[in-house]
């Protein structure tokens, strides 16, 4: 009965006439089953088509959500010579939707763009990076945690649950920027990022306020001041006698460090010292199991240093354990330091920031003193360590002025060419600054990383530069309070 009434209504409309002409020339009738909407683009297709629910499943190139419902398709086009065609597809019924697109050239259609305010279901496995530009603006939804878990490039650390993704972009062809706001509804969280340039997205930034664990009052500056005084007493100011300096830092990888790198630091007349960033719960990992805790203590007694790199204990051998709560931050930073001191039987003065995905509750990479004093992670780092690493601007080449340096950046050489490394050393020489050379020992000789032969060449270049009286090699903490001016302190090499 309903289908007969619909057919009658359609015939009635087709017979209407008015001031603007015969409506029947505009009403095209029923769109045939198995229609390919990409082919509905000629002057003979212009008009209003009825799409019965029974035919929807047989058609191709429909909008992303066409629904199991009756619909209409409006096709508009100028004269044959004009070439451009537009389609507007309207889903009717309990879950309405309206979509629009245009044929740009020949047979090339733009993507369907949703015109109503409702959200569109994201297909499992959707890559968020592909949702950019004017054609992809709109609101999308993820129906379940199972579906959310399949999504690609959604915020790392976000809960898997029913979610909304809002995409906004400019209309002008030359405006390539896009922003995305991702909201988890089942476990309330909100994240934000922007498309900076073609294919380059900013990092996801959590913006619901719960990611940054800000202290209720004060910070831990007072205990840090006391620790700094103790640090200075143990590491008096050293002079480079007007020369630049290099220092070494190795992040875990004790097995390769013991077998290969440490012998290199002590060969050919060298007596170079290094800082080793270590996790208290990672001794059993293959990259570290080749060195015992007693051997590590002997290195400290020989002039090398160990720094707290968080407790970690992550079974994944390539990443550091996340710190997504105050309890986790305290456990990884404070308890980790206490464990490392117990294992080595020596005080631990320094903290080296581990690479994490969720940014340690707003702390991220330690880019400024502000995050140390305003975030929970930064404050507990200062409370229990005299010196801490970071990413303060313009600190790769450290001034040698005798003043303690905090939050200093480093130079990771493991993915660099030998020529590039030599060039950075030359800058330290010419500017009379200190350069911290860092790498993960486990990556040496691995595909895409520096080879042992390359590292050997770098060490030989340092030897040559030192022999030319242009450079000195300092202990890592020693360089933090070194100066180019004479202070009457013997130079330790």
Domain ranges of the chain: 1-116, 119-209, 221-480
Residue 12 has pLDDT above 80, yes or no: no
261 vs 24: CA distance, rounded Å: 85
Q: Report residue 196's pLDDT band, with 50, 70 and 90 as the boundaries.
A: confident
**Hey, is 211 helix, strand or coil?**
coil
Whether 267 and 323 have beta carbons less than 8 Å apart is answered as no
Confidence of residue 356 (pLDDT cuts 50, 70, 90): confident
The two tokens of residue 440 are: 């993960």
Lowest mean pLDDT among 161-175, 377-391, 454-468: 161-175
Q: Is 115 strand, coil or helix?
A: coil
Contact (Cβ atoms closer than 8 angstroms) between residue 222 and residue 408: no
Higher pLDDT pick, 433 / 98:
433
Q: Is the pLDDT of residue 40 over 60?
A: yes
What letter would DSSP give residue 260?
I
| Cβ count within 10 A of residue 407 | 21
Mean pLDDT of 166-186: 78
CB within 8 A of 42, min separation 6: which ones? Answer: 77, 85
Residues in the chain, how many?
493
CA 254 from centre of chain: 27
Round to whole Å and give the CA distance between 77 and 81. Answer: 10
Q: Which pLDDT band holds residue 209 (cuts at 50, 70, 90)?
A: low
Specify the pLDDT at position 157.
76
User: Is residue 361 within 8 Å of residue 213, measured between CB atoms?
Assistant: yes
Contact 146, 163 (CB under 8 A): no
Q: What pLDDT score was predicted for residue 174?
A: 53
Mean pLDDT of 478-484: 95
Rounded Cα–Cα distance for residues 99 and 66 (Å): 9
Residue bearing the bigger pLDDT, 168 or 36: 36
Q: In terms of pLDDT, which residue wins out, 201 or 431?
A: 431
pLDDT of residue 13: 47
Give the helix ranges, DSSP H, for 399-492: 418-431, 452-467, 476-480
- The tens digit of pLDDT for each residue in 411-464 reads 999 999 999 999 999 999 999 999 999 999 999 999 999 999 999 999 999 999
Question: Which of 70-74, 188-192, 290-294, 465-469 has the least mean pLDDT?
Answer: 188-192
pLDDT recorded at residue 191: 86
Q: What is the per-residue pLDDT for 172?
A: 52
Q: Which of 91-100, 322-331, 347-356, 433-442 has the highest mean pLDDT?
A: 433-442
- Residue 218's contacts (CB-CB under 8 Å, 6 or more residues apart) are none
Share above pLDDT 70 across residues of the chain, in percent, rounded to a whole number: 87
Q: Burial of 12 by CB count in 10 Å (0-12 exposed, 13-18 middle, 19+ buried)? A: exposed
The predicted structure's pLDDT at residue 223: 60
Band the pLDDT of 183: cuts 50, 70, 90.
very high
155 and 191 Cβ atoms separated by less than 8 Å: yes
* The predicted structure's pLDDT at residue 210: 58
The set of residues, in sequence order, having a beta carbon less than 8 Å from that of 239 and lying 6+ positions away, is: 482, 483, 484, 485, 486, 487, 488, 489, 491
Stated pTM of the model: 0.58
pLDDT, mean of residues 264-291: 96
Mean confidence (pLDDT) of the chain? 86
**pLDDT at residue 318, rounded to an integer:** 62
Residue 360 is predicted with a pLDDT of 85
Q: pLDDT per residue over 224-264, tens digit each?
A: 788 899 999 999 999 999 999 999 999 999 999 999 999 99
**The pair of three-digit structure tokens given for residue 22, joined into one six-digit string:** 């015969």
Measured CA to CA, the distance from residue 201 to residue 254 in angstroms comes to: 35
Helix residue spans in 302-417 (DSSP H):
326-329, 336-344, 359-362, 369-374, 376-384
Q: From CA 240, how far away is CA 482, in angstroms rounded? A: 7
Overall average pLDDT of the 98-111 stretch: 82
**Annotation: CATH topology of 221-480:** TIM Barrel (3.20.20)
pLDDT of res. 489: 45
> Between residues 31 and 157, which one has the greater pLDDT?
31
| Structural tokens at position 182 | 């991702």
Alpha helix positions (H), 67-208: 145-148
The CA distance from 255 to 286, in Å, is 7
Q: What is the DSSP string of 391-423?
A: --TT-SEE--BSS---SB--EE-TTS-HHHHHH
Buried b (16+ CB within 10 A) or exposed e, 257-272: bbebbbeebeeeeeeb
Half-sphere CA count of 316, side-chain side, radius 13 A: 6
175-200: average pLDDT: 84
Mean pLDDT of 282-297: 96
């Amino acid at each position: 009965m309903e289908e007969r009434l619909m057919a009658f209504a359609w015939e009635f409309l087709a017979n209407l006439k008015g001031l603007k002409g015969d409506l029947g020339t505009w009403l095209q009738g029923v769109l045939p089953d198995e229609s390919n909407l990409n082919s509905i683009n000629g002057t003979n297709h212009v008009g209003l088509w009825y799409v019965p629910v029974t035919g929807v499943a047989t058609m191709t190139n429909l909008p992303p959500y066409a629904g199991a419902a009756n619909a209409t398709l409006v096709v508009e086009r100028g004269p044959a010579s004009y070439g451009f065609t537009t389609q507007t597809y309207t889903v009717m019924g309990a879950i309405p939707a309206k979509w629009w697109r245009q044929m740009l050239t020949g047979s090339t259609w733009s993507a369907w763009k949703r015109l109503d305010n409702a959200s569109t279901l994201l297909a499992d496995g959707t890559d968020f990076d592909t949702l950019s530009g004017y054609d992809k603006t709109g609101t999308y939804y993820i129906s379940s945690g199972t579906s959310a878990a399949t999504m690609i490039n959604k915020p790392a650390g976000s809960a898997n649950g029913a979610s909304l993704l809002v995409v906004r972009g400019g209309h002008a062809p030359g405006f390539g920027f896009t922003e995305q706001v991702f909201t988890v509804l089942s476990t309330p969280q909100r994240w934000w990022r922007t498309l900076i340039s073609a294919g380059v997205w900013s990092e996801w930034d959590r913006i619901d306020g719960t990611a940054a664990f800000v202290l209720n009052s004060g910070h831990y500056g007072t205990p840090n001041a006391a620790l700094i005084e103790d640090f200075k007493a143990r590491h008096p100011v050293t002079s480079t006698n007007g020369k630049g300096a290099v220092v070494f830092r190795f992040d875990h990888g004790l097995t390769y460090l013991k077998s290969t790198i440490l012998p290199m630091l002590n060969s050919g007349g060298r007596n170079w010292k290094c800082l080793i960033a270590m996790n208290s719960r990672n001794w059993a990992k293959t990259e570290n199991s080749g060195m015992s805790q007693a051997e590590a203590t002997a290195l400290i007694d020989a002039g090398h240093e160990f720094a707290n790199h968080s407790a970690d204990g992550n079974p994944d051998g390539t990443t550091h354990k996340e710190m997504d709560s105050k309890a986790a931050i305290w456990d990884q930073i404070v308890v980790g330091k206490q464990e490392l001191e117990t294992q080595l039987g020596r005080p631990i003065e320094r903290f080296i920031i581990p690479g994490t995905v969720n940014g340690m509750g707003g702390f991220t990479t330690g880019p400024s003193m502000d995050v140390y004093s305003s975030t929970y992670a930064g404050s507990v780092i200062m409370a229990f360590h005299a010196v801490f690493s970071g990413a303060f601007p313009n600190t790769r080449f450290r001034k040698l002025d005798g003043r303690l340096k905090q939050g200093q950046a480093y130079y990771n050489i493991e993915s660099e060419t030998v020529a590039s490394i030599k060039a950075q050393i030359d800058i330290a020489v010419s500017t009379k600054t200190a350069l911290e050379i860092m790498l993960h020992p486990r990556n040496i000789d691995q595909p895409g990383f520096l080879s042992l032969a390359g590292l050997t060449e770098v060490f030989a270049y340092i030897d040559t530069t030192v022999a030319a009286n242009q450079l000195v090699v300092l202990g890592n903490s020693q360089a933090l309070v070194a100066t180019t001016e004479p202070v009457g302190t013997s130079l330790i090499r």
